[in-house]
Structure 1
């Protein structure tokens, strides 16, 4: 065949033109998708460990998770990434694996680990979705955790509203709780019980929608926010007034 086309270059050019013509004519019938659907053979398990260093995450989370899923079938590759405040276990499955069943098996194995640190959040096991690009951004600053979380939430809103990012998740923060210690002697003097003080704290710690203001260009939502989220603000709550002597 090579000898034939070498002797007849016109035939070779005609054949090439014919192939190009067929390709152009069939181009419109080819199925095209921006994000084609397929079942990715990957499962990801994520655990948040607030305040932990990468070494602590590796020793406390990654090693235990890798050991827990070691006996499962249909796993080709196991990789655990330890970063500050969280661990991410990625499992590459073979093509014959049942994704739904593997999700249940991995979740069961990780939930069975009974020596995780008490400070961790509940493990999240999910199928890795390749339909959306993923980028991790680590934020560190010499400030308090509430201020850092507020900045992360602000950055989340900017990415979604100004740059059109469809999905932004903030992780690595836990819901902090404050413990209010009461002076029993003063409580007796004022005739207050623990439930009385708890009720007053609840009444003065509210966040309620208050309507909206419409303009020709925008619609502004109004929200009444009187939450006490710092120790100083909690200390300023008035729970009772002593009777005034005249």
Structure 2
């Protein structure tokens, strides 16, 4: 150690050269260092999206979800399978074990789905994809005194459209307001006068708001999906609804 110290004292120019070299290499190393404010994490989930227009949650589960889950049983590399069945749609989340290649497991899940012998007529093609990890970047709120909730929602939608036009933004979600719904109030005396029941009115409203598929038409270059969409989205559209002819 004494010899090294004595050498540096005697040849101080060499010490300066070494320090400058370390400084230069440090600058190059810092510029080449990869960093990210929001580092990407590899996905470990495969998502199966189901679209079945006009189907109830039970029909989605029994006709599609359970069949796919049966084929996923025993598939090596799968840690857990969870599913959700909703009206007209459903989803299956396949969690992959650590250390497994997500691209290979995506192919394995697709093959398992393709092995299902039959699906209900009228369902749209299944979408099997990797569930990308999304992190929240910015959260902000919109508020105002004596401003109706509908107006705040319209402002939020406008801001959402403006943000979607910006390149680099992958996902935007709006929350904080209730879902819109149509409320139909009935006069009990009028129902008695016309000899009608609540169930009869409810059935008439349901029959007037349908979304069902009628199959598809295939050509050499395209495929057309036939769908009957007779839903009402505003209360005014139900004013002239015929309950009984």
TM over 0.5: no
Structure of greater relative contact order (alpha carbons < 8 Å, 6+ residues apart) = 2
Name the TM-score class by shorter chain: 0.3 to 0.5
TM-score where L is the length of structure 2: 0.44
